[in-house]
């Protein structure tokens, strides 16, 4: 295995290459470094066979989808990743092969609901859940400090102590650590109870990253930020969330809501299916096609997508356009399907 960290900056991208098979994987690529990655692959004479984003990034644009389109390599993220066009949705415990190199997927939520770590031999790529002498913040939408503590203590810290740690970010000039060093010396985790960790992480008071809307929303939706007027974080936080069981009861009630699906057409007809009777208007077209909903403006509108992220954006957009009774299907079609509720294809 040949291994390189490519960015040498606070945002880390890792190249893993199988020399025997001339196969390579890129982990957490940046959109503005795509030319560099392609040049390096050509230099080493390697085919790009896998692209992995360890989680939905909030401080930079991901290059995963663009690289996938350019090279034909599959893009892999956890099944709770909100973005469309992910070609392989991951489950914890499965193994990804890159030539002869095995990458074991560890589901490590906490920083985000779709966070994974990748174990490759003597090293683990931890995304943002475990940093060098730190941990990833848990105050973004879907973050959960308790889940983060469990991911670190019950999954990462059970690895051999000499396992090398390579996170997706570093802000202090570190390049690597070990599980043993983090277990015994990480100031946020070492010697701290779960309750103490939750209290610490919920009261960090960190400022939001610069340009978070310009990075996070396109990474979640695969829509360029100039193509749609994205709501503010405050507007997103005000969207009413509806549990799948509640929506099913309302659909079967006397005044059923209008269900709007904002995924891409191939998702609407895909494996997860869609809520029976739902109408499809992809998020990228919602603003220009919102007039098509004027006839149901007085009804309750429930918006859905894959995991409830794009649909929260859509619900906030509709609210800003004067639709007063808009809710979001919490957890989207993933939670609807996991609950074995009826679908159409």
- The one-digit pLDDT tens for each residue of the chain (345 residues) are 889 999 988 999 999 999 999 999 999 999 999 999 999 999 999 999 999 999 999 989 999 999 999 999 999 999 999 999 999 999 999 999 999 999 999 999 999 999 999 999 999 999 999 999 999 999 988 999 999 999 999 999 999 999 999 999 998 889 999 999 999 999 999 999 999 999 999 999 988 887 788 889 999 998 877 778 889 888 999 999 999 999 999 999 999 999 999 999 999 999 999 999 999 999 999 999 999 999 999 999 999 999 999 999 999 999 999 999 999 999 999 999 999 999 999
Residue 95, strand partner residues? 104
Q: Is 269 in a helix, a strand, or coil?
A: coil
**What is the pLDDT, as a whole number, of residue 212?**
83
In CATH, what number is assigned to the domain containing residue 133?
A: 3.60.15.10
Same domain (yes/no): 232, 195: no
- Whether 207 is in a domain gets the answer no
- Whether 77 is in a domain gets the answer yes
**What is the pLDDT, as a whole number, of residue 255?**
93
Same domain (yes/no): 296, 175: no
CA 241 to chain centre: 19
Whole-prediction pTM value? 0.94
> Using the 8-state DSSP alphabet, how is residue 285 labeled?
G
- Whether 108 is in a domain gets the answer yes
Question: In the numeric block, which tokens belong to residue 331?
Answer: 């957890």
Name the residue range of residue 105's domain: 2-201
Rg (CA), the chain: 21
Question: In the numeric block, which tokens belong to residue 127?
Answer: 């995304």
**What is the pLDDT, as a whole number, of residue 150?**
98
In CATH, what number is assigned to the domain containing residue 299?
A: 3.40.250.10
Same domain (yes/no): 57, 181: yes
- The greatest distance separating any two alpha carbons of the chain, rounded to the nearest whole angstrom, comes to 65
């Amino acid at each position: 295995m040949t291994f390189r960290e490519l960015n040498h900056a606070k945002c880390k991208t890792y190249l893993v290459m199988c020399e025997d098979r001339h196969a390579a994987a890129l982990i957490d690529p940046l959109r503005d470094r795509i030319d560099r990655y392609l040049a390096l692959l050509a230099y080493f004479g390697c085919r790009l066979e896998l692209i992995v984003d360890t989680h939905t990034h909030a401080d930079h644009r991901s290059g995963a989808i663009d690289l996938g389109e350019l090279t034909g390599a599959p893009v892999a993220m956890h099944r709770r990743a909100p973005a469309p066009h992910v070609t392989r949705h991951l489950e914890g415990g499965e193994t990804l092969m890159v030539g002869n190199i095995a990458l074991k997927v560890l589901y490590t939520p906490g920083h985000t609901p779709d966070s994974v770590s990748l174990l490759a031999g003597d090293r683990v790529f931890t995304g943002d859940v475990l940093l060098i002498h730190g941990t990833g913040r848990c105050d973004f939408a879907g973050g959960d400090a308790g889940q983060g503590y469990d991911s670190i203590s019950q999954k990462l810290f059970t690895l051999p102590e000499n396992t090398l740690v390579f996170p997706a970010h570093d802000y202090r000039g570190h390049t690597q650590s070990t599980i043993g060093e983090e277990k015994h010396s990480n100031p946020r985790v070492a010697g701290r109870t779960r309750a103490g960790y939750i209290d610490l992480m919920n009261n960090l008071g960190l400022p939001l990253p610069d340009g978070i809307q310009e990075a996070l929303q396109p990474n979640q939706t695969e829509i360029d930020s100039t193509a749609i007027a994205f709501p503010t974080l405050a507007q997103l936080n005000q969207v009413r969330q509806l549990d799948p069981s509640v929506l099913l009861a309302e659909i079967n009630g006397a005044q059923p809501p209008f269900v709007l699906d904002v995924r891409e057409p191939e998702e609407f007809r895909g494996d997860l299916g869609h809520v029976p009777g739902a109408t499809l208007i992809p998020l990228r077209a919602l603003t220009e096609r919102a007039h098509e909903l004027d006839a149901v403006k007085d009804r309750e509108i429930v918006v859905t997508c894959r995991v409830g992220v794009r649909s929260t954006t859509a619900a906030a957009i509709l609210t800003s356009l004067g639709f007063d009774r808009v809710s979001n299907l919490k957890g989207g079609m993933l939670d609807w399907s996991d609950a074995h509720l009826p679908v159409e294809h």
